[in-house]
Amino acid sequence: MTTTTLITVAPTGAESSKTDVPALPVTLDELVATAKECEAVGASVIHVHIRDADARPTLDLGRLRDTVAALRAETGLIVQLSTGGAVTDPESDRIRVLGAAPDMASCTMGTVNFGDDVFLNRWDFIVALHASMQELGIVPEYEIFDLGHLTSLQRLLDKHGLPAGGHVHVDFVLGVPGGAPGTAETLVAFTHALRDLPDGTTFSATGIGRSTLPVLLASLSAGGHLRVGMEDTVTYAKGQPVESNAQLVARAAGFARLAQRPPMPVSEARTLLGVNA
Ligand code: KMH
Ligand code: ZN
């Protein structure tokens, strides 16, 4: 178990609208301001979805490049772009995200029902993402929405080799309607399945909506890392909307300190994940 806790912030996502959630960072200025605040209170990785001029989700390559450049200029955070996008995004747009040359990118390990929608991740597409990231030196974070996704990851690594950077890091995304439930039991079951992955594989976890706190506490207890942010929950407590992403990061950092595994400095996170400085 590491003595520190890697905290990833996922500030925006593709699902909430600015109209419903005014505190959601949707412009580049809002995103950079959020990133700085979150870095100051303990985040070391930022998982990024961006919006267009009308605050709608977009995978526009020019905007993504500007976003990576601005986050690098204004923060020390590890920049992880989403290749998941929104459920309506075609595969061609999703893989093109890698052209923005982030430090890391997400790679979801299988198809999952996603509320009333389907988040499609065909095997061939997963292989293409993995191989492109190997070629471009982009470190993947493997997104795990269900137990079989870990089996698929084992198959991927067996057939196609280790990721760029050589380290395997997975993120359990629990509590999606259609995926694995956001409970301590799920988290423990998933950690058992990690034994089939390379030695040293690390995990973070996030719980969607009301499963945020149970999953956060279970992950800390099990030696895991944390992802928090308004992509995953817009409610801080019952009847209390999230005020800012930094509020969620600060809460996670507080729990991490209580667990005697304080937030991981960015330099340590780069070494752990195999991301170049
Ligand atoms: N927005 C979801 C459909 C990722 O970023 O890689 C997919 C998602 C996963 O958020
Ligand atoms: Zn995402």
Q: Which atom of ligand 1 is nearest to the CA of 106?
A: 6
Ligand 1 mean position to 221 CA, how many Å? 26
Q: pLDDT tens digits for 13-71?
A: 999 999 999 999 999 999 999 999 999 999 999 999 999 999 999 999 999 999 999 99
> Is residue 179 over pLDDT 80?
yes
pLDDT at 2: 85
Q: Rounded mean pLDDT of the chain? A: 98
d(CA 267, CA 213): 27
Q: Which atom of ligand 1 is nearest to the CA of 119?
A: 3
Ligand 2 mean position to 16 CA, how many Å? 12
> Is residue 181 over pLDDT 90?
yes
d(CA 33, CA 74): 9
pLDDT at 1: 72
Q: pLDDT tens digits for 98-123?
A: 999 999 999 999 999 999 999 999 99
Residue minimizing CA distance to atom 1 of ligand 1: 86
Q: Which atom of ligand 1 is nearest to the CA of 49?
A: 5
Sorted by sequence, the CB contacts under 8 Å of residue 210 that are 6+ apart come out as 175, 182, 233, 235
> Is residue 244 over pLDDT 80?
yes
SS3 183: coil
pLDDT at 154: 98
* Domains of the chain: residue spans and CATH: 7-273 (3.20.20.70)
pLDDT at 68: 99
Percent of the chain with pLDDT over 90: 99
Give residue ranges with CB within 6 A of ligand 1: 13-14, 82-84, 86-87, 106, 108, 114, 119, 143
Q: Residue 14 in contact with residue 49, Cβ under 8 Å?
A: yes
pLDDT at 143: 99
- From 138, 143, 173, the mutation candidate for ligand 1 (largest count of ligand atoms within 8 A of CB) is 143
Q: Could you tell me how far CA 1 lies from the centroid of its own chain?
A: 20
Token digits of residue 255: 């729990």
Residue 68, judged by CB atoms within 10 A of its CB (0-12, 13-18, 19+), counts as: middle
Query: Nearest ligand to the C-alpha of residue 12?
Result: 2
**What does the chain come to in residues?**
277
Q: Which amino acid is at 254?
A: G
| Range 220-233 average pLDDT | 98
Three-state SS sequence of 209-241? HHHHHHHHHHHHHCCCEEEECCCCCCEEECCEE
Q: How confident is the model at residue 79 (pLDDT cuts 50, 70, 90)?
A: very high
Q: How confident is the model at residue 165 (pLDDT cuts 50, 70, 90)?
A: very high
Pairs from 175-178 (Cβ < 8 Å, separation ≥ 24) = 175/207, 175/208, 175/209, 175/210, 175/211, 175/212, 175/215, 176/112, 176/114, 176/115, 176/145, 176/208, 177/113, 177/114, 177/115, 178/112, 178/113, 178/114, 178/115
In this predicted complex, what is the ipTM? 0.99
Ligand 1 mean position to 256 CA, how many Å? 25
Read off the pTM. 0.98
pLDDT at 35: 99
Ligand 1 mean position to 184 CA, how many Å? 22
Query: Nearest ligand to the C-alpha of residue 94?
Result: 1
pLDDT at 186: 98
Give the number of C-alpha atoms closer than 13 A to the C-alpha of residue 129, restricted to the C-beta side: 30
Residue minimizing CA distance to atom 7 of ligand 1: 84
Ligand 2 mean position to 47 CA, how many Å? 7
SS3 177: strand
Ligand 2 mean position to 256 CA, how many Å? 23
Neighbours of 261 (CB within 10 A): 20
Ligand 1 mean position to 84 CA, how many Å? 4
- From 83, 106, 107, 142, the mutation candidate for ligand 1 (largest count of ligand atoms within 8 A of CB) is 106
> Is residue 96 over pLDDT 80?
yes
Q: Which atom of ligand 1 is nearest to the CA of 143?
A: 6
Q: How confident is the model at residue 195 (pLDDT cuts 50, 70, 90)?
A: very high
Q: How confident is the model at residue 277 (pLDDT cuts 50, 70, 90)?
A: confident
Ligand 2 mean position to 223 CA, how many Å? 23
